Structure 1
Amino acid sequence: MTPLPDFDTLRWLADHEPDRLEQLQHQLNQEAIAASDGNQEQLTCLVFNLEQQLARCDNPYHRCVVAMGMMRSKLYTLSTIINEPEEFLETAKIIPFRRPAQKL
């Protein structure tokens, strides 16, 4: 796996070569997904969703807030699954549509 540079190097890349930093981030994401056990599709979707959300941000602080919000949402879901599995596994009540009476 590609080693993560120290903080000062990452900060320099962010200020001077943001495209190279983005390339490093993409490479590290792909390596982490490849090393996962069996949930690569879900992780790929998560990374795609994160990238789409971050593309709309106009500054680094906005990116941080968006990423933290997404992490908080995932952690809340995980907490619900662990602490209240019955609530999480409840299924929606299906209400069938009634067909209108046919005219002869």
Structure 2
Amino acid sequence: MTELPNFDQLRWLADNEPDELEELQKTLCKEAIDCCPESNKEQLISMQYHLEQQLSRCTNPYHRCYLAISIMNDKFISLNTIMNSPQEFRQQNAKILTLPSKKPAD
């Protein structure tokens, strides 16, 4: 696995070579996902894609950090609910709405 540089090196990359830092992030994420069991890989890849899409809209590093923390916190809350109240989680059902059909124009 790729070794994570120390904080000072990461800070230098962030200030001077942001593209290289982003590439390091992608490499480390890919390696972490590759080490996971097959049953979780698709979900992790999906989560990573969702996170990347959300982070691409951020305007500054603080916004990126806040958004990443917020998304991960939401995931932990969901996991906590599932682990502590599995029956409640299983009983959740989506409400299916019937949309009116389009009427042909006269």
Same fold, TM-score > 0.5, yes or no? yes
Partner of residue 75, structure 1: 76
Question: Deviation string for 1:62-102 (max 9, x for gaps)?
Answer: 001100110110000111011111110114277796xxxxx
Q: Percent of pairs identical after alignment? A: 53
Give the alignment of 1:15-34 within 5 angstroms: 15-34=15-34
For 1:1-104, what aligned pairs fall within 5 Å after superposition?
1-38=1-38, 39-92=40-93
TM-score by length of 2: 0.85
**Structure-2 change in CA distance of 1:37 and 1:63 (3 Å):** same
Q: Which residue of 1 aligns with 2:103?
A: none
- Post-superposition Cα deviations, 1:30-82, rounded to whole Å, max 9, x if no partner, equal 10111001211111101100000000000010001100110110000111011
Structure 1, gaps ≥5 residues long: 98-104
Gaps of 5+ in 2: 99-106
1:43–1:95 CA distance, 2 compared to 1 (3 A): closer
TM-score by length of 1: 0.87
Stretches of 4+ aligned residues off by more than 4 angstroms: 93-97
Question: Once superposed, what is the RMSD of the aligned Cα atoms?
Answer: 1.6
Cα 1:19/1:92, change in 2 over 3 Å: same
